[in-house]
Structure 1
Amino acid sequence: TLRMYPVLPFLDRKCDADYKIPGTDVVLDKGTPVVIPMLGLHYDEKYFPKPDEFNPERFTNKKSFNDSGLYYIPFGEGPRICIGERFGMLGAKLGLVHIISQFILERTPDTPVPLEFEPKSFILQSKVGLPMKFKEIIQKPA
């Protein structure tokens, strides 16, 4: 899900040394601001076939996936990687387990498919939220 809906659609960095872009005459000087379009990378068919499909199996073979390059970077990478990655993932997993153990989630007629994003938001967010129907799971006594 973080591939399709990363919290931030881009990362910003600064060149820490002069860098010549391979195959071009373009040189990024030290100190040049660089914007990394994470959403663009995550939806690029060259790296993720059928990018509009939710397919968790594409991440099954972590070794070969990680060897292919830095195309999946929802928390950034390197010295400026998000320090809250582990905490955020743990919180999301605990919350999800709590919800799906007590409720069945269903789309409503108001649930947008596909999601449309708020273009002026700094973080990636849906224009209308994510309307869902929560049906409580009623467990019968044993």
Structure 2
Amino acid sequence: VNVRTVDDPQYENRLRNWDFDIIVASWPESLSPGNEQRDYWGTPAADTPGSRNYVGIKNPAVDALIERVIFAKDRAELIAATRALDRVLLWNHYVVPQFTLDKSRTARWDRFNRQDPLPKYGASAFPTVWWWDAEKAAKTGTRP
């Protein structure tokens, strides 16, 4: 393995032109997936420089499932189509899943507190859910 450090513009250019062997990437999702799936996994995007289809997927089954996701008539159909798309993507081993831990790892002083349990879609690493706890701060003392 040869790791090469590149600056941000070069990295972006390499992404746009598929000039890489492996990358760390994420594909943001909402609770209602839709048209963005074409750019992430669709055959036309595989040959479109600058698309998010970093993997270069050209799979008719994936294309058909993307259309089922986009044109789902109700929530139940959307969920079923999305789960089917997820299974096909995972089964074909296009990516190595990461960021799947339902916890956030943080290092911190025990001077803060947060709501427990977190809101349904809250992420514990975000500072918006933390607050200063004077009682805890008094126990930890000052920074050495």
With normalisation by structure 1, the TM-score equals 0.23
More helix by share: 2
Structure showing the higher strand proportion among its residues: 1
Largest Rg, 1 or 2: 2
